[in-house]
Every structure is written in structure tokens, then in C-alpha cells.
């Protein structure tokens, strides 16, 4: 039986560990926290698993919360513009695109703790230890393959930054998350659960999405602020109550249509806020340990995209699925450097589109044709649906989203077809 070590117990590490277990591998998983510490700890992220990524979980029988988490069926987009005389912003664009399948969001405290318990219950070897490079160096010789599934700490430094794939050298957004109960119903589409993307040009974005958390059905309020701009109000890491108060104050001015639903919200728990920032980057997938052993980077250890397009957990799930298939296909042959690079290349076929789209959406000023596409989606339902579908499969954006002529041709084709108006 082949022995595999995975350092990191997030979306990719746990999904891969459970998948390898399913296929009969001897798996050791290193987690820096117990399941109870994860469950009772601070929220770790926002996440919405779109249909393809969700399918990877369900294929392994890991959709434990499918019956309880809200069924997300659309992606809504609003674009804010300044109101008169410096007053609250108003919506210049507002539409809802339909997804081709169901998406769902589950608080990672709930998901990761549940998956960690499942891994242990199924006989997996669990080491509760914050892995260091020295640990992997000492252990690597005892395993056929070592994977690093964490993009934080010294393990991430094993992988050299790829300048060609990493156009940004500093964080492009400051992130501020609140999980809340009590958000009122949405008047625009009361019967359709959706991720809502509210763009405030030049300042950042507000995302609102339904989720399942440790205390039941909830919603996430998530500001992505251009650093040092008017939405960047959480640099001092305020306490939970002040964090929520600032979130709502910004909503009242920059997204009053969302604030109108939020006048009675309260935090789901004392650990329901998070603020921070990080630099998006693509890294070399193969790391070398001090003794010369090789490790393969997984998900955001080697491809860390900003959350502005909501792709982090989705990319992690897709990476874990691609690596699982590559490992199983490889049989008993050695997991050498050539295999590692080929395994990553198989993932990069799709991941490169996610990175390209995310980096484009981080641009300080969006090109005029992007705004024209968003305007046109308000007139053409098929375009709204196509943009929504891109959150599941970002590869489609390459055909029309980045180039002004391609965008114009896309909108013109809709007009010739007589749709909308």
C-alpha cells in the first residue's frame, strides 16, 4: 500500500486525503488544529462552491450538508455609482444570472471539522501538529509522496514565486468578513437564493451570500476594499461588534439596497468576523527540502488567487480532484519530479483561466468594455446567465471578456438574435 503524507487540512488537503482513503491509500494528514478547535474557532474564509467543484465533493460522498445548506441558483450583479451631492450611492446596473446547477456555501469551520472527524473515523492517520519544513524533511523518506496543502507559513516558502504568473507584488484587496443572522428577504428575487456581487468602481466590492454555519442558516457580508481607499476600514483589526458596525456603515453609504435588508442583523457568534489581506501569486509547484527530498504543492500553496471572484475553495476542490486522478493513474511508479510537474500541469489547464480572470478583475480601473458587458447583461438574460456560469467555469471568459472587440462582438450577436432590448 502506497504511503502519502499531506500537510494541511483545508479544502484541498482534506478532500484529497479522503479521496485517497477511498482508493485504499495509507494517508497521514497533518493539521494544526483538532476538529473541535476548528469548529469553535474564528471563521476562516468565505466560500461558495459552484456546481463543478461541488460535484467533486459529492463524487466522494462528502456532501454531508447538501440537504441543509441554502441552494444557490444564481449570481446577481449590481454596479454602484455616487448619489447626488455626495449622498448614498445608487445602482446603475442590477441583474441576476442563473447558474446551470446548484451551488452551496458551508462555513469551513463546519465542513473542515466534519471532514477531519470523518478522516479519523475511517482509519486515517491524523497528526495534530503545525508542520514545519524540518518536520517534512524528517518524514519524507518514509512516504512515497509528500504534498503541501497550505499556502501559509514557512511551508509556503518552499515554492518559488513565478514572476510570469504573478503580476501583483502587494495585496490588491483588504478583506473584511461578517457572518450574520437576521438579514431580511431580498425583494428583487425573493424566491431565488443567489450570490450578490456589488461593485463600487475604484473602491472595491461587497459580496452577500447565503450560507450554512455552525448555528444554522446565515448570510455572509464580505467587503473587498482597494487598499487605502474609502472601504479599507478594518486595518486596526476591530473587535467583532465594531467590525460589524463598520461593515453596516459602509453598506449604508455604498450599497444602501443591501443595507436596507441588514438593519436587524447580528453576528452568528463571537468568532464570526475576519479581516486581512494577502498577495495573489502563482508559484513553482515543486519544492525541495533541505535534505533534497521533493514535495508537491496543492491548491493555494502554489496558486493563490484573490477572493474577488469567489474561486478559492472551488480551485482547491478542482486541484484536489486533478491530483487524485493523477495519483491513481500513476499506479506503483515513483512520484518523481517529472510526475509532479505533469500533475500540476493537468490542474493548470483549468486553473490558469481562474487566475487570468481574477487578476483582470483586480485591475485598478476596469476597461470600458467590461462595464459595457455588465450593462448589456441587464438587457440580455442569456449574457447574464453566461457571466454567472463563468463563476463555475472561468475558461469561458477567454472567448469574450478580456478583449474589447470580442466583447463588442458578443453583445452585437445578442442584438442580431433579437434578444432583450
> Where is 250: in which H helix or E strand?
helix 240-254
CA-nearest of 267, 352, 257, 314 to 46 is 314
pLDDT of residue 420: 54
Cα 56 to Cα 65: distance, rounded to the nearest angstrom: 14
> Where is 258: in which H helix or E strand?
helix 256-259
pLDDT of residue 415: 79
**Is 243 among the domain residues?**
yes
Cα 56 to Cα 132: distance, rounded to the nearest angstrom: 29
**Is 186 among the domain residues?**
yes
Classify the phi-psi angles of 105: left when phi > 0, otherwise alpha if psi is within -120 to 50, otherwise beta: beta
Range of the domain at 223: 72-103+173-276
**Is 378 among the domain residues?**
yes
**Is 332 among the domain residues?**
yes
pLDDT of residue 421: 44
User: CA 325: distance to chain centroid?
Assistant: 22
* Secondary structure E strands in 70-132: 72-81, 90-103, 125-128
Does 162 lie in the same domain as 178?
no
CA atoms within 13 A on the CB side of 346: 17
CATH number, position 11: 3.50.50.60
**Cβ neighbours around 217 below 10 Å, total:** 14
Q: What phi, psi does 91 have (nearest 5°)? A: -85, 120
| Strand 216-225 with 204-213, pairing | antiparallel
CA-nearest of 146, 195, 154, 153 to 389 is 195
CB burial of residue 121 (10 Å; 0-12, 13-18, 19+): exposed
CATH number, position 92: 3.30.9.40
End-to-end CA distance of the chain: 62
55's CB contacts (< 8 A; 6+ apart) are: none
Does 246 lie in the same domain as 203?
yes
Does 195 lie in the same domain as 117?
no
Does 150 lie in the same domain as 135?
yes
Rounded to 5°, angle at Cα 134 from 120 and 294: 85
385-416 burial: b if 16+ Cβ within 10 Å, else e? bbbbbbbbbbeebeebbeeeeebeebbeebee
Does 373 lie in the same domain as 344?
no
Query: What total number of domains does the chain contain?
Result: 3
Cα 313 to Cα 370: distance, rounded to the nearest angstrom: 25
Does 98 lie in the same domain as 187?
yes
Does 295 lie in the same domain as 385?
no
Query: Which DSSP symbol is given to 74?
Result: E
- With contact defined as beta carbons under 8 Å apart, do 343 and 322 qualify? yes
pLDDT of residue 417: 66
**Is 53 among the domain residues?**
yes
Does 346 lie in the same domain as 292?
yes
SS3 content of the chain, % helix, strand, coil (to 5): 40, 25, 35
**Is 44 among the domain residues?**
yes
**Is 421 among the domain residues?**
no
> Where is 175: in which H helix or E strand?
strand 174-181
Cα 3 to Cα 21: distance, rounded to the nearest angstrom: 11
Does 249 lie in the same domain as 131?
no
Q: What phi, psi does 376 have (nearest 5°)? A: -65, -30
Does 384 lie in the same domain as 236?
no
- With contact defined as beta carbons under 8 Å apart, do 315 and 303 qualify? yes
Cα 234 to Cα 243: distance, rounded to the nearest angstrom: 7
pLDDT of residue 418: 62
In tens digits, what is the pLDDT along the chain, a chain of 421 residues?
A: 899 999 999 999 999 999 999 999 999 999 999 999 999 999 999 999 999 999 999 999 999 999 999 999 999 999 999 999 889 999 999 999 999 999 999 999 999 999 999 999 999 999 999 999 999 999 999 999 999 999 988 999 999 999 999 999 999 999 999 999 999 999 888 889 999 999 999 999 999 999 999 999 999 999 999 999 999 999 999 999 999 999 999 999 999 999 999 999 999 999 999 999 999 999 999 999 999 999 999 999 999 999 999 999 999 999 999 999 999 999 999 999 999 999 999 999 999 999 999 999 998 788 999 999 999 999 999 999 999 999 999 999 999 999 999 999 999 999 766 665 4
Does 163 lie in the same domain as 121?
yes
Does 224 lie in the same domain as 155?
no
Last residue of a domain, one of 229, 259, 276: 276
CA-nearest of 415, 408, 375 to 94 is 375
pLDDT of residue 363: 87
Last residue of a domain, one of 276, 304, 320: 276
Last residue of a domain, one of 322, 344, 361: 361
Amino acid at each position: 500500500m502506497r504511503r502519502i503524507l499531506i500537510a494541511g487540512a483545508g479544502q484541498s488537503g482534506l478532500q484529497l486525503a479522503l479521496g485517497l482513503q477511498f482508493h485504499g491509500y495509507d494517508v497521514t494528514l497533518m493539521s494544526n488544529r483538532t476538529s473541535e478547535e476548528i469548529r469553535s474557532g474564528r471563521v476562516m474564509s468565505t466560500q461558495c462552491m459552484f456546481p463543478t467543484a461541488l460535484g467533486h465533493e459529492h463524487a466522494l460522498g462528502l456532501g454531508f450538508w447538501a440537504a441543509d445548506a441554502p441552494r444557490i441558483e444564481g449570481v446577481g450583479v449590481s454596479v454602484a455609482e455616487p448619489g447626488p451631492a455626495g449622498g448614498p450611492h445608487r445602482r446603475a446596473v442590477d441583474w441576476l444570472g442563473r447558474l446551470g446547477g446548484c451551488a452551496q456555501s458551508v462555513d469551513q469551520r463546519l465542513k473542515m471539522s466534519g471532514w477531519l472527524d470523518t478522516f479519523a473515523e475511517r482509519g486515517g492517520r491524523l497528526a495534530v501538529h503545525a508542520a514545519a519544513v524540518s518536520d517534512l524533511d524528517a518524514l519524507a523518506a518514509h512516504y512515497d509522496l509528500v504534498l503541501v496543502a497550505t499556502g501559509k507559513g514557512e511551508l509556503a516558502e518552499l515554492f518559488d514565486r513565478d514572476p510570469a504568473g504573478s503580476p501583483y507584488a502587494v495585496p490588491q484587496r483588504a478583506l473584511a468578513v461578517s457572518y450574520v443572522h437576521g438579514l431580511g428577504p431580498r425583494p428583487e428575487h425573493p424566491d431565488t437564493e443567489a450570490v450578490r456581487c456589488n461593485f463600487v468602481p475604484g473602491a472595491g466590492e461587497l459580496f452577500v451570500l447565503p450560507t450554512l454555519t455552525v448555528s444554522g442558516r446565515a448570510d455572509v457580508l464580505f467587503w473587498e476594499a482597494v487598499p487605502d481607499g474609502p472601504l479599507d476600514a478594518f486595518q486596526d483589526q476591530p473587535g467583532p461588534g465594531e467590525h460589524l458596525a463598520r461593515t453596516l456603515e459602509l453598506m449604508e453609504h455604498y450599497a444602501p439596497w443591501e443595507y436596507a435588508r441588514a438593519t436587524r442583523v447580528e453576528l452568528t457568534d463571537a468568532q464570526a468576523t475576519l479581516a486581512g489581506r494577502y498577495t495573489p501569486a502563482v508559484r513553482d509547484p515543486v519544492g525541495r527540502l533541505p535534505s533534497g527530498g521533493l514535495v508537491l504543492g496543492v491548491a493555494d500553496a502554489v496558486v493563490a488567487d484573490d477572493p474577488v471572484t469567489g474561486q478559492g475553495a472551488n480551485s482547491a476542490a478542482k486541484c484536489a480532484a486533478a491530483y487524485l486522478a493523477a495519483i491513481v493513474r500513476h499506479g506503483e511508479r515513483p512520484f518523481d519530479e517529472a510526475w509532479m510537474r505533469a500533475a500540476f500541469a493537468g490542474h493548470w489547464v483549468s486553473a490558469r483561466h481562474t487566475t487570468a480572470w481574477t487578476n483582470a478583475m483586480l485591475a485598478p480601473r476596469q476597461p470600458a468594455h467590461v462595464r459595457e458587458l455588465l450593462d448589456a447583461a441587464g438587457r440580455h438574460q442569456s449574457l447574464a446567465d453566461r457571466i454567472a456560469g463563468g463563476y463555475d467555469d472561468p475558461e469561458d471568459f477567454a472567448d469574450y471578456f478580456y478583449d474589447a472587440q470580442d466583447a463588442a462582438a458578443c453583445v452585437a450577436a445578442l442584438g442580431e438574435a433579437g434578444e432583450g432590448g
